[in-house]
Amino acid sequence: MKLSKRVGLLLFYATITVSIIISSIYIFIYNKLSESSVEIIINYKIIFIIILFLTVISNALIYNFINKKIIKRLKDTEDIIEKAIDKGLSEEIKNNNPKEQDEISNLTDEITNITDKLINTENYLEKETNNYSNLLNIMSNSFIHLKAIVDEEGNYIDGIVIDINYAASAFFCQEREKIINKKFSELYEEYNIDKENIVSVLKRINRTKSECITKELNIIGDKWGVISIYSLNEGYFSIIINDITDIKKHSEELTYLANYDTLTNLLNRYNLFEYLIKLIKNEEEFSIYFIDIDDFKNINDTLGHNTGDEVLRIVADKLLSLKYTFNMDSINKITVGRLGGDEFLVVKKGKDSIREIKNLANEIQRILYEEFEIENNTFNLKASIGISSYPADGDNVFTLIKYADISMYRSKEEGGNKNKVFSEEMLEEINMQSSLSSAIENKEFEVYFQPIYDVTKEKIVGAEALTRWNKEEGIISPAKYIPLAKKTGDIIKLDEFVLEEACKCCNEMYKLGEDEFKVSINISYAAIKQNNFIEKLVKIITKEKINPKSIKLEITEDEIIDNIDFTVGILNKIRNLGFQIALDDFGVGYSSFNYIKILPLDTLKIDRSLLKSLENDRKTLSIIETLINLSHTLGLNVVCEGVEISSQLELLRKINCDSIQGFYISKPIDFNSFKYFIIDFNNIERSE
């Protein structure tokens, strides 16, 4: 019942009660006074009637006043409060607040203030709720609020979803309404796999009430996350899932890039090395085949890099097919990778004989040569292969790769499309190469001279200057280091050194009275190609004060054949300076009479290989005689090399050979020995 009604009833009953009390008092007095005189009674009756009337009137007036001034206002205040509560508006109270300032007005003000605070609090709570909801929904991480599911011992073992944010809905690819009221184990596809781990975290969160974080987990489909679980009030907990799907994918991509070649999908250099290191660590024997595609640069240059890339992919597929070429055991024994560019590596586990190693190398070359087409272009690939084995050739990966690489380059040097097994001889060449340049600077080279004998004059008229490399372990043959020096470019320094020593020899011969003496030196094509070659030549002979006619420059056919026009031009300039030109080693390889005709020559040197059967083969003798006659017709002097016995000399004398060079006269000897040899052979008087 409302307060106003209660107050009204109280007032009503109070008025009735007061009226009854007064009436009772009146009746009591009246009965007492009835025993008195009539005049007195009449007088008191009138007085009490008047009093009773006045009492009733006054009660009615008081009730009316209280009802109007208090009860009605209380009722109005109650109505206003009800409306304010219903409408959430404290303005109702303010607009209807009585103007009179009394206790009730003050009460109304208090009520108004309290109502304002309540409304403000309600609005604040509503606003904070909205902010909280917005905050959760703008989170990039998935948020799930759950009611715990407990076992008989009170441990958390699962949870029922009671709220989620947008990120969680997107992560699980389900609408919010479909997720709410589901168990977490129903959302987490791999829950059973990681159940032990998840349950242990839930138990721990229930006991410690602290944050717990799990490891990376595959939660749903291809999506990965790191789960953080937070304890709330008793029986509730929240899960935040940090989505690491993209990070996981990038990590997997980086792992792939770190281990595999992106073009061919083969193992890359890093992974190959790791694999070989593992084999060595396990002491497993193996052989590696270092493969380089011959002339691959030409494919890129002529057909473009896209075609070149496709060729490399096909090469990778062909090499992978080796796993199935021999037997099923080969699948696990053969590993293929790409080192980079057009270089590939095949690793074959197990100890193989040389024959087995060569068989696999030949098979590699066979399958690469099998024809294939790319955009109407037909390919038959050739490859150079170098092979090394563990533990025979080395005990670490880098050494084995280096040795296989050396062997591969040896295959290249021999024309390509070959396979070579590493040997110590190859290593000797590499060591020689590394010390060649320093050997020239350290003057480890010495020039030896082999006499050239004039058949008609029967005297020594010249010599060929030949280098020897003096090392602590002995003298190294030119056959070993000359090809290497040509490859490295050190031949240019070597040629200059020989020219300087040849000039010194000429000066000594002048002192002995041998004014017509000539020293022949081999000059490389690499030296001739220098822009300043002629300037260097002139500078050296000027320094040594030598007449150019005393120096004869020897060239070989194999070096000039690729650019004959350039060679003719430069040799003409050299010859015009007074130097003589000789064509060395004629009769070997691509020997052609055409070169004798077009080159500016003074001397033709016939190679020793033609003299081997000179005594027993009439055809050989006829060929040499024809060469000599042709050379004489062209105005050339002829020197036959490799004369070792007197019968060869006599036969050459009969067919009019001009000069000979060979062991029959003398082997190459150092300068001091050569000087005294000339004095003795040519009967030169010794000066005191």
The CATH H-level superfamily of 139-249 is: PAS domain (3.30.450.20)
Detail the DSSP E strand segments found in 430-514: 445-454, 459-471, 474-476
User: Rounded distance, CA 96 to CA 109, Å?
Assistant: 11
Q: So what's the pLDDT on residue 38? A: 47
* Buried b / exposed e along 21-49 (16+ C-beta atoms within 10 A): ebeeebeeeeeeeeeeeeeeeeebeeebe
Q: What is the CA radius of gyration of the chain?
A: 59
- Between CA 688 and CA 241 the distance in angstroms is 107
The first and second tokens of residue 259, run together, are 């281990």
Say which residue the tokens 């009722």 belong to: 75
At the topology level, CATH places domain 431-681 in TIM Barrel (3.20.20)
C-alpha span between 437 and 85 (Å, rounded):
104
pLDDT for 230 beyond 50: yes
Per-residue pLDDT tens digits for 235-257: 888 777 777 776 666 655 555 55
The residue whose two tokens read 């991509």 is 253
Does the pLDDT value for residue 416 go beyond 60?
yes
Distance CA 628, CA 61 (A): 169
pLDDT tens digits for range 131-188: 555 556 666 677 888 888 888 877 787 888 888 887 777 777 787 778 888 887 887 7
Fill in the DSSP letter of residue 194.
S
pLDDT of residue 280: 94
Higher pLDDT, 429 or 369: 369
Token couple for 266: 């083969």
For 558, residues 6+ apart whose C-beta sits below 8 A from its C-beta are 585, 589, 590
Question: Is residue 466 within 8 Å of 447, Cβ to Cβ?
Answer: yes
Percent of the chain whose predicted confidence (pLDDT) is above 90: 38
261, two tokens: 């070649």
Neighbour order of strands in the sheet with 212-220: 156-164, 142-150, 236-243, 223-231, 212-220
Q: Report the pLDDT value the prediction gives residue 110, as an integer from 0 to 100.
A: 64
Instruction: Give the model's confidence band at 324: pLDDT under 50 very low, under 70 low, under 90 confident, else very high.
Output: confident
Give buried/exposed letters for 636-648 (b at 16+ CB in 10 A, else e).
bbbbbbbbeeeeb
Residues forming a β-bridge with 660: 453, 640
One DSSP character per residue, 42-91 reads HHHHHHHHHHHHHHHHHHHHHHHHHIIIIIHHHHHHHHHHHHHHHHT-TH
Higher-scoring residue by pLDDT: 394, 218: 394
> For residue 423, what are its two tokens?
């040997």
* Residue showing tokens 């190693």: 357
Is 40 or 314 the better-scoring residue by pLDDT? 314
Predicted confidence (pLDDT) per residue in 16-62, tens digit: 776 677 767 767 666 666 655 445 445 556 666 676 677 667 767 77
CATH of domain 260-422: 3.30.70.270
User: 240 — phi, psi (to 5°)?
Assistant: -115, 125
What is d(CA 147, CA 183) in angstroms, rounded to the nearest whole number? Answer: 9
**Domain-wise residue ranges, the chain:** 1-136, 139-249, 260-422, 431-681
Interval 587-611 mean pLDDT: 81
**pLDDT by residue (tens digit) across 193-211?**
567 777 777 777 777 666 6
Per-position b or e across 656-668, b if 16+ CB within 10 A of its CB? ebbbbbbebbbeb
Note the pLDDT of residue 100.
52
Measure the CA–CA gap between 116 and 562, rounded to whole angstroms. 106
d(CA 433, CA 484): 7
* C-alpha–C-alpha distance, residues 146 and 238, integer Å: 6
User: How far is residue 118 from each of residues 77, 109, 284, 395, 442, measured CA to CA in Å?
Assistant: 17, 14, 83, 86, 103
Q: What is the mean pLDDT of residues 460-472?
A: 92
Which tokens sit at 306? 């896209």
Q: Give the pLDDT score at 65.
A: 67
Res 679 pLDDT > 90: yes
Q: Is the pLDDT of residue 189 over 70?
A: no
> Is residue 585 left, alpha or beta, with left meaning phi > 0 and alpha meaning psi from -120 to 50?
left
Tokens found for residue 607: 């190679």
Residue 687 has pLDDT above 70, yes or no: no
**The domains spanning 260-422 and 431-681 adopt the same CATH topology:** no
Using one digit for the tens of pLDDT, what is the confidence trace for 481-535? Answer: 888 888 888 999 999 999 999 999 999 999 999 989 999 999 998 999 899 999 9
Distance, CA of 422 to chain centre: 30
* Spatial contact of 71 and 7, defined as CB atoms under 8 Å apart: yes
